[in-house]
Amino acid sequence: MAENFDFDEVIDRREVPTLKVHRMVLGGDGMDLFPAGVADMDFRAPKPILDVLARRLGHGVFGYETVPDGLMPALIAWMEQRHAWDIHPDHILRAPNVLNSLSMATNLFTEPGDCIIVQPPVFFDFADIIAENGRRMVENPLVLSSDRYEMDFDGLETCAADPRTKMLFLCNPHNPVGRVWTKTELAQLGAICRKNEVIVVSDEIHADITFQDHTYTPFASISDADAQNSITCLSPAKSFNIAACCSAFAVVSDESRRNALKAENSRLTVNKNNAFASVAMEAAYKDGGPWLDSAITYIEGNLSLVRACLSDIPEVSLIEPEGTFLLWLDFRNLGLQPHELTQFLRSEAGWAITRGIAFGDSGAGFGRLNIACPRARLEKALDRLVHAISTTRDASK
Ligand SMILES: Cc1ncc(COP(=O)(O)O)c(C=O)c1O
């Protein structure tokens, strides 16, 4: 019998210090806004995870632990069964989180002043990591043509050919534009990077959430050569809504890079195991599949709602996503400057979404809406947007 999952349940996220509803994110004057910025879900995590956490808590002893025997096999089986990616167990390293792996790779495999390619609009922390490590960011912006973002491979060739360029941060699938890169696109990117000795650091944290007709391709599964030339960063944080109680993994096929990362983990003592993260991740990969499938269906339902609503509003268009629970909305027809758009959405529509400009200059006029929330909340928010826009329209007649 199919299990039932209740994604409609409204859970008060203010009961714990949740970033998404914190004044740090919403601003002191925005505590009642529709909180749809930070990239996590408003859904309760899958029951197998909650059960195993409760059992682990009940054990009552929390001394030093090793990695549970079942964790790596669970991750490997998940990747194999869900994504047809065969990972060698020796190639997997534990990591505290995905961004930590990006930062470590930057530090170990590039020199200060080296260039790292990013393809904006893209997850803003990429820019911070590059700047904070004293490297230079080189932008190869995605190209928006017929409402779909594509990689600019000519631009990529040029950026990669610069001898100062040593690395590329790939976001696969891509936050915020929702592209699930195809095998062909990834192969082309991989070939350009290999030809120019540019290492690919592939952030695949959004891998598990893809929509019908779109398939996530692990970058390292393209070819052995691409596996050798890449570091893949994985985590169950987004898929099972456990960002606050999980850690992450880096898959590194190249032995010398793997050894360098291991040595750095040791030097920084980034090698302790959190009991709760371990059991939560193992349960997620072993038993979280049915919940995830239902969550994706629910998110697709929310997407249909947004699509239907926006089809009546010419001022706002949806960039059709292929995956992730983040929607990239084009508000450019409103003719507002980025700060005016933020202000309009907050004061007139009651929306707190992520400003498009935060993802790079090409994000100006856009916004990122998180739709992993109970449907009733989204419906209400959409009604308020429709009302705000029709009021503005009427006022300008
Ligand atoms: C593309 C991407 N990478 C990394 C992260 C953060 O990952 P972690 O918390 O594991 O560092 C996020 C969170 O929004 C993300 O969207």
> Where residue 168 sits, what CATH number does that domain have?
3.40.640.10
Closest CA to 368 of 387, 351, 391: 351
Using one digit for the tens of pLDDT, what is the confidence trace for 140-158?
Answer: 999 999 999 999 999 999 9
- CA–CA dist 173, 98 (Å, integer): 14
Question: Which of 99, 124, 201, 242 is the best mutation target for the ligand 1 pocket, counting ligand atoms within 8 Å of the beta carbon and taking the most?
Answer: 99
Mean pLDDT of 298-306: 98
Looking at the fold, whether 28 and 174 belong to one and the same domain comes out as: no
Helices 255-267 and 98-109, packing angle to 10 deg:
110
CA of 175 to the centre of ligand 1 (A): 9
CA of 178 to the centre of ligand 1 (A): 14
Question: In this structure, is residue 196 part of a structural domain?
Answer: yes
Domain with 34, as residue range(s), is: 13-46+289-395
Q: Which two tokens stand for residue 39?
A: 């990239």
Looking at the fold, whether 254 and 153 belong to one and the same domain comes out as: yes
Looking at the fold, whether 360 and 229 belong to one and the same domain comes out as: no
> Where residue 41 sits, what CATH number does that domain have?
3.90.1150.10
Q: What is the mean pLDDT of the chain?
A: 96
CA of 20 to the centre of ligand 1 (A): 14
Looking at the fold, whether 237 and 91 belong to one and the same domain comes out as: yes
Pocket (CB within 6 angstroms of ligand 1): 39, 97-99, 123, 171, 175, 203, 205, 235, 237, 243, 248
Q: Is the pLDDT of residue 2 over 70?
A: no
Helices 375-395 and 289-310, packing angle to 10 deg:
20
CA of 73 to the centre of ligand 1 (A): 23
Which atom of ligand 1 is found nearest the CA of 171?
1
Q: Do residues 174 and 122 make contact, with C-beta atoms less than 8 angstroms apart? A: yes
Question: In this structure, is residue 55 part of a structural domain?
Answer: no
Looking at the fold, whether 20 and 38 belong to one and the same domain comes out as: yes
CA of 303 to the centre of ligand 1 (A): 22
Closest CA to 344 of 279, 293, 395, 274: 395
- Domain boundary pick from 287, 316, 347: 287
Looking at the fold, whether 162 and 226 belong to one and the same domain comes out as: yes
Residue nearest to atom 14 of ligand 1 (CA): 39
Looking at the fold, whether 326 and 276 belong to one and the same domain comes out as: no
Using one digit for the tens of pLDDT, what is the confidence trace for 216-274?
Answer: 999 999 999 999 999 999 999 999 999 999 999 999 999 999 999 999 999 999 888 99
- Domain boundary pick from 242, 270, 287: 287
Residue nearest to atom 13 of ligand 1 (CA): 39
Using one digit for the tens of pLDDT, what is the confidence trace for 200-212?
Answer: 999 999 999 999 9
Q: Which two tokens stand for residue 126?
A: 């990429």
Structural domains in the chain (count) = 2
What pLDDT, on a 0 to 100 scale, did the predictor assign at position 394? 83
Looking at the fold, whether 282 and 322 belong to one and the same domain comes out as: no
- Domain boundary pick from 232, 266, 287: 287
Looking at the fold, whether 226 and 106 belong to one and the same domain comes out as: yes
Looking at the fold, whether 210 and 158 belong to one and the same domain comes out as: yes
| Burial of residue 255 (number of CB atoms within 10 Å: 0-12, 13-18, 19+) | exposed
Q: Which residue has the tokens 């096999």?
A: 73
Question: In this structure, is residue 4 part of a structural domain?
Answer: no
Question: In this structure, is residue 6 part of a structural domain?
Answer: no
Question: In this structure, is residue 7 part of a structural domain?
Answer: no
